[in-house]
Amino acid sequence: MIRTMFARTLFNRTTTSLHLHHSLRCSYSRKMSTETESVVAGIKKAGLFQTKGFIGGKWIDAYDGKTIEVNNPARGDVITSVACMGERETQDAISSAYDAFGHWSKLTAADRSNRLRNWYNSLIEHKEELGQLITLEQGKPLKEAIGEVVYAASFIEFFAEEAKRVYGDIIPSTLPDRRLFVLKQPVGVVGAITPWNFPLAMIARKVGPALACGCTIVIKPSELTPLTALAAAELAHQSGIPPGVLNVVMGDAAKIGTSLVESPQVRKITFTGSTAVGKKLMAGSAETVKKVSLELGGNAPCIIFDDADLEVALKGTLATKFRNTGQTCVCANRVLVQEGIYEKFTSAFSNAVQNLKVGDGFSEGVVQGPLINEAAVLKVESFVQDAVSKGAKVLLGGKRHSLGFTFYEPTVIGDVKNEMLIARQEVFGPVAPVIRFKTEEEAIQIANDTNAGLAAYIFTNSIKRSWRVSEALEYGIVGVNEGLVSTEVAPFGGFKQSGLGREGSKYGLDDYLEIKYVCMGNMA
């Protein structure tokens, strides 16, 4: 019974199957366990346990006093309740950001850079507490959560440096008495909507470039993981990011999203999440012709050729499939294995997967945490059932873990066909579907036969093949003999329905800048 009540968000990342419902359940309550209490006490002591929205540099309750519970996905206990905000609070956050823009965008780049650098330092200084918050509300193992904090902070550091390199151009004129210039200017107020799978990193990837360029921002974190965002906002405040420059509102996703999209004061929407919501935001942004950046669902192929180094392929596939318990948009969603190496690979891979320790993210040695909620488990179960009913074979796992609740066994399924649901949509769980193929052409055809185009991985020892296949894949990111490719210095983003724009790297600034052409005449 508790399980069903706990299923707060049931949302499919693509447009078909399963239903969309974002009901806000404020009634469910299960008392905090003593373990949760002691972690919370430590975070409170560090001053990082915030539960109100952050608007114009102040901590604010929802205007109607409404709150929404935040649960620990591993246990289902209530961590706390946070302000459950809607249109009015969002409008005020937008106004604060709009007012702050005048001042913030006129600071020198070096000044903005120093403040971002201070924030980077304090994120690193508090990586333990922030990591604990992530494990508490998102479930990933603590070591991985602390890794996320360091990864998130790296975007703030990188863009603190890039802030000083927003160069314009001087264009050779077509007329002798004219001088032509290009200025790069911040777009203005940014609305950022982020998901629960990386509660800090998905925010840092947006706030870093936005603030570096001189934009101000209203962040709406996932209602499932608001606590990490609020703690980061507190540290930003302490680091000298002025009131109104960074605001956080959370609660009713649809109402907040609509307010951000409809406001003429918001000049850009940046979103990471499901393809279905991304399409809605893009359509909504048309009315006020906003800039839009979207990081949407993927359907990553991980292609292992006969000529691959088996050890490298095993390590890479394990890393890309099982990171964050399979809940990332760059997780391998389809493992394509060439027939000559199929038996050897699947047997060694299943052995390796069997050794992954599952449990509460705070327990020693655990590398696979819970799924985010009951709805996620139901989705994984339904995908596995569909595959098995159509002829796929469970090689390992294939059912809920004995720990129950939100835990699912690390699973390998063989003889999967690209037509099965599990190969069409993101499973977003610890399940590796393996597809057998014969030729390179067939692998490329299967890999590209999807509307998504975020990340792809190939394992081969042939240099020629690695180039050929990398170029043929319709994906924004390709890992060659490598399963973990994300870094702040490289562009992250997708082809096709996986999104628009790029995050990270020098390209990550472009989405937050307007290009202005200045023509000076009569200069002779």
Site residues, ligand ADP (CB under 6 A): 9, 11, 13, 22, 193-196, 220, 222-223, 253-254, 257, 273-274, 277, 280
Q: Is the dihedral of CA 357, 360, 364, 367 positive or negative?
A: positive
Q: Is the dihedral of CA 104, 110, 114, 119 positive or negative?
A: positive
Q: Do 156 and 123 contact (CB within 8 A), yes or no?
A: yes
CB-wise, 222 or 317, nearer to ligand ADP? 222
Candidate list 295, 409, 426, 440, residue with the active-site label: 295
Alpha helices, DSSP H, located in 325-406: 342-354, 374-389
Dihedrals phi, psi of 383, to nearest 5 degrees: -65, -40
53: β partners: 60
CB-wise, 13 or 502, nearer to ligand ADP? 13
Which residue minimizes CB distance to ligand ADP? Answer: 257
Interhelix angle 226-238/201-213, nearest 10 degrees? 40
Q: Measured in whole angstroms, how far is the alpha carbon of residue 419 from the centre of its chain?
A: 27
CB-wise, 193 or 303, nearer to ligand ADP? 193
Per-residue H/E/C for 328-344: CCCCEEEEEEECCCHHH
Q: How far is the CB of 398 from ligand ADP (least distance, A)?
A: 23
Question: What count of residues does the chain have?
Answer: 524
CB-wise, 11 or 54, nearer to ligand ADP? 11
Q: Do 489 and 162 contact (CB within 8 A), yes or no?
A: no
What residues have CB less than 8 Å from 151, skipping those under 6 apart? 201, 486, 488
Largest CA distance in the chain: 82
The counts of H helices and E strands in the chain are 16, 22
Token pair in block for residue 162: 């890039």
Q: Is 519 a catalytic residue?
A: no
DSSP 458: E
CB-wise, 86 or 453, nearer to ligand ADP? 86
CB-wise, 316 or 499, nearer to ligand ADP? 499
Q: How far is the CB of 222 from ligand ADP (least distance, A)?
A: 4
Q: Do 17 and 421 contact (CB within 8 A), yes or no?
A: yes
At 524, which amino acid appears? A
Interstrand relation of 78-83 and 58-60 (parallel, antiparallel or unpaired): unpaired
Candidate list 84, 213, 329, 331, residue with the active-site label: 329
Q: How far is the CB of 18 from ligand ADP (least distance, A)?
A: 10
Q: How far is the CB of 14 from ligand ADP (least distance, A)?
A: 10
Q: Is 295 a catalytic residue?
A: yes
Q: How far is the CB of 471 from ligand ADP (least distance, A)?
A: 30
479: β partners: 457
Alpha helices, DSSP H, located in 105-240: 109-125, 127-138, 142-162, 201-213, 226-238
Token pair in block for residue 51: 């539960």
Q: How far is the CB of 425 from ligand ADP (least distance, A)?
A: 11
Residues acting as catalytic residues = 295, 329
